[in-house]
């Protein structure tokens, strides 16, 4: 299994280095374009949720992306206490200002799992490779 660990910084976020690094890593692992799009979008949604709802700083978050021949796994480790999500997310109304992130993650990923960890919270997203 190939893994990429990314400690987030404001500079990387502002210069789109995160997306470039993720894209390059997945290209090197022969991840299909549609799968890359889903993974990057879900990572950005998860990071946005963590920053907005848990008041996390980028430096509090570690991102680990794993690629093997049959599955892509994203581990998002956040040193802040987990934010409580309320049940299974529904498709938001077209003009809703929020609610899309969790719905997208649950719709596009094969597994979405939130759990408390020793250092805060852990989000694991898994996508089976086609």
pTM for this model (two decimals): 0.86
**Are 75 and 64 spatial neighbours (Cβ–Cβ below 8 Å)?**
yes
Pick from 117, 10, 21, 104: which is nearest to 64 by CA? Answer: 21
Spatial distance between the Cα atoms of 80 and 98, rounded to a whole number of angstroms: 21
3-class secondary-structure state, position 7: strand
pLDDT category of residue 86 using cuts at 50, 70 and 90: low
Pairing mode, if any, of strands 120-128 and 2-7?
A: unpaired
Q: What is the pLDDT of residue 1?
A: 63
Report pLDDT digits (tens) over 23-79.
999 999 999 999 999 999 999 999 888 777 666 667 778 899 999 999 999 999 988
Q: What is the pLDDT of residue 85?
A: 58
Q: What is the pLDDT of residue 51?
A: 77
User: What number is the average pLDDT over the span 71-100?
Assistant: 74
Report pLDDT digits (tens) over 105-124.
999 999 999 888 887 889 99
pLDDT score of 88 more than 70: no
User: What are the residue boundaries of the structural domains of the chain, listed by start?
Assistant: 2-128
Q: What is the pLDDT of residue 59?
A: 74
Q: What is the pLDDT of residue 123?
A: 92
3-class secondary-structure state, position 8: coil
DSSP, res 4? E
Spatial distance between the Cα atoms of 4 and 84, rounded to a whole number of angstroms: 28
Please say whether the structural domain 2-128 has been given the CATH code 3.30.470.10: no
Q: Mapped to the 3 state alphabet, what secondary structure does 51-116 carry?
A: HHHCCCCHHHEEEEEEECCCEEEEEEEECCCCCCCCCCCCCCCCCCCCCHHHHHHHHHCCEEEEEE
Q: What is the pLDDT of residue 96?
A: 65
């Amino acid at each position: 299994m190939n893994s990429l660990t990314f400690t987030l910084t404001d500079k990387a976020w502002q210069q789109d280095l995160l997306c470039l690094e993720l894209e390059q890593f997945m290209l090197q692992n022969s991840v299909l374009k549609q799968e890359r799009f889903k993974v990057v979008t879900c990572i950005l949604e998860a990071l946005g949720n963590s920053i907005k709802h848990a008041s996390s700083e980028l430096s509090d978050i570690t991102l680990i992306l794993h690629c093997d021949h049959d599955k892509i796994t994203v581990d998002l480790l956040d040193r802040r206490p987990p934010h409580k999500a309320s049940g299974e997310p529904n498709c938001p109304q077209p003009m809703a200002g929020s609610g899309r992130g969790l719905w997208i993650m649950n719709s596009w990923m094969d597994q979405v799992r939130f759990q408390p960890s020793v250092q805060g919270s852990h989000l694991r997203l898994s996508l089976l490779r086609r």
